[in-house]
Amino acid sequence: MKKSTAAVWSGEGDLNTKGAATSPIVNSVAFSYKDLEAWHQVSLGKTDGFIYSRNTNPTVAVLEEKIRVLEGAEDATSFSTGMAAISNTLFTFLTTGKRVVSLKDTYGGTSKIFLDFLPKYGVDVKLCDTTDHGQLETEIAKGCDLLYLETPTNPTLKVVDIKRLADAAKKVGAVVVVDNTFATPINQNPLQSGADLVIHSATKFLCGHSDAMGGLLAGRKELVRKVYHFREINGASLQADPAYMIARGMKTLELRIERQNASAMTIARYLKTHSKVKDVFYPGLESHIGHDIAKRQMSGFGGMMSFALDGSYELVKKFLTSLQWVHLAASLGSVSTLAGPPRTTSHVELTEQQRAMLGIPESLIRYSVGIENVEDLLEDIEQALGKL
Ligand SMILES: *Cc1c(COP(=O)(O)O)cnc(C)c1O
């Protein structure tokens, strides 16, 4: 079964009562049993079944099965948001005295957990320069319980070699976790590169329509189960309604991603030649610093890019407000194009100097390519650049 088929068919079937062609939304908090012994067996986890929707739910299970198959994993579980997936995973494995190695360029919320929360619980956090694989290997070798990666990163699309770092992590027995939100399972399967667990903010490309939030985790069964047991008590569970929306979105995931991969490449090439554009960050461009690694570990370069205008932040304001086919909004991975300046959105809490240290120019624009016609998007960008 190829990915597009798996996205449509996996998880479906058991719930399709009376010949329904889609799985229903099961909005039941609890599940009843006539046989107390059968109930007991499910409660003990000895047979499959549903007890209470904070643990799991039939509609949610359909979605979990889809990500399990698409990521080639033994097991999968779900969360109320992407950040719930990340925080539950980190807090499951990182207790007092443990050491985590990660990147300076992780998603803003993740970075906050590393810098503000984990140290309070006595966890030793080491964040390395994102593209310095040598430093990462050295820090991993010093002792590491969990290696946390994200690739490509936000907003400059830095690329990290998962296989190389997973090999280093294996030597010291660390659990390797990769946030695969930007790439999606269509373009990248971290488990095949040696990761133990893969995380998604399902809010983004998987849902794909900016209308539901969720988080997913897939990987080695014993590790997924540990996080699941933490989450079922902690309570950051996914509800049936958003689970249905995300599973519905995932049925068209490959179609959307193929379009977004192609459009992003076309737009990145166009921007690269434009005199008002100083720099373009897209892993599909040969000039991108992570291009060689991306070529090896990704089967498509994705729908996310960023570019710096040749000028100040004033120019960014003028350009963005001149665009027609875009929502100036946070988030990414939707059918509609979304854009915004990292300086005043994702990286607003950093000083200009901190942004410079991460290689984020003040005139940077993050652009999440939608599924609109690429000629319309190009024309729109061209007219907006023409106004500068
Ligand atoms: C959005 C995002 C998250 C957080 O997901 P939420 O669903 O908003 O909680 C985590 N990682 C990456 C890379 C993201 O883009």
Q: What is the mean pLDDT of residues 289-316?
A: 96
Residues 6+ apart with CB under 8 A from 145: 93, 94, 98, 99, 100, 174, 175
CB 311 within 8 A of CB 388: yes
Sign of torsion over alpha carbons 146, 152, 156, 159: positive
Separation between Cα atoms, residue 368 and residue 152, nearest integer Å: 13
Pocket test of ligand 1: the residue of 181, 197, 239 to mutate, having most ligand atoms within 8 Å of its CB, is: 181
CB neighbourhood size of 29 (10 A): 9
- pTM attached to this predicted model: 0.97
Separation between Cα atoms, residue 173 and residue 229, nearest integer Å: 22
CA atoms within 13 A on the CB side of 56: 20
| pLDDT at residue 352 in the model | 87
Q: What is the mean pLDDT of residues 273-292?
A: 97
Q: Which residue has the tokens 């996080």?
A: 227
Distance 35 CA to ligand 1 centre (A): 42
Which of 104, 107, 145, 196 is the catalytic position? 107
Separation between Cα atoms, residue 223 and residue 241, nearest integer Å: 27
Within 6 Å (CB) of ligand 1, which residues are found? 81-83, 107, 109, 150, 154, 179, 181-182, 201, 203-204, 213, 215
Q: Which of 5-19, 100-114, 134-148, 187-201 is predicted least confidently?
A: 5-19
pLDDT tier, 13 (very low <50, low <70, confident <90, very high otherwise): confident
Would the pLDDT of 15 be above 80? no
State yes or no: is 99 an active-site residue.
Answer: no
pLDDT tier, 171 (very low <50, low <70, confident <90, very high otherwise): very high
Distance 201 CA to ligand 1 centre (A): 5
Ligand 1 nearest-atom number relative to CA 215: 7
Single-letter code of the amino acid located at 225: R
| pLDDT at residue 176 in the model | 98
| pLDDT at residue 19 in the model | 83
Separation between Cα atoms, residue 364 and residue 213, nearest integer Å: 27
Distance 227 CA to ligand 1 centre (A): 18
Q: 48: which 2 tokens? A: 């499959």
State yes or no: is 142 an active-site residue.
Answer: no
Distance 43 CA to ligand 1 centre (A): 32
Q: Are strands 75-79 and 215-219 parallel, antiparallel or unpaired?
A: antiparallel
DSSP 130-180: TT-HHHHHHHHHT--SEEEEESSPTTT-----HHHHHHHHHHTT-EEEEE-
Separation between Cα atoms, residue 225 and residue 95, nearest integer Å: 17
Rounded to 10°, the helix 133-141/162-171 angle is 20
Strand order in the sheet with 197-201: 75-79, 215-219, 197-201, 175-179, 146-150, 99-103, 124-128
Would the pLDDT of 372 be above 90? yes
Pocket test of ligand 1: the residue of 78, 203, 338, 366 to mutate, having most ligand atoms within 8 Å of its CB, is: 203
Q: What is the mean pLDDT of residues 253-271?
A: 98
Would the pLDDT of 14 be above 80? no
Distance 180 CA to ligand 1 centre (A): 10
Separation between Cα atoms, residue 79 and residue 252, nearest integer Å: 21
Nearest Cα residue to atom 15 of ligand 1:
181
| pLDDT at residue 354 in the model | 86
Report which DSSP code applies to 190. G
Task: List residues bridging with 279 in a β-sheet.
Answer: 308
277: three-class secondary structure by DSSP? strand
Would the pLDDT of 284 be above 80? yes
State yes or no: is 343 an active-site residue.
Answer: no
State yes or no: is 54 an active-site residue.
Answer: yes
- Domains and their CATH numbers in the chain: 3-250 (3.40.640.10), 253-385 (3.90.1150.10)
Distance 183 CA to ligand 1 centre (A): 12
Ligand 1 nearest-atom number relative to CA 182: 13
Q: What angle do CA 71, 180, 127 make, to 5 degrees?
A: 135
Residues 6+ apart with CB under 8 A from 229: none
Separation between Cα atoms, residue 22 and residue 226, nearest integer Å: 31
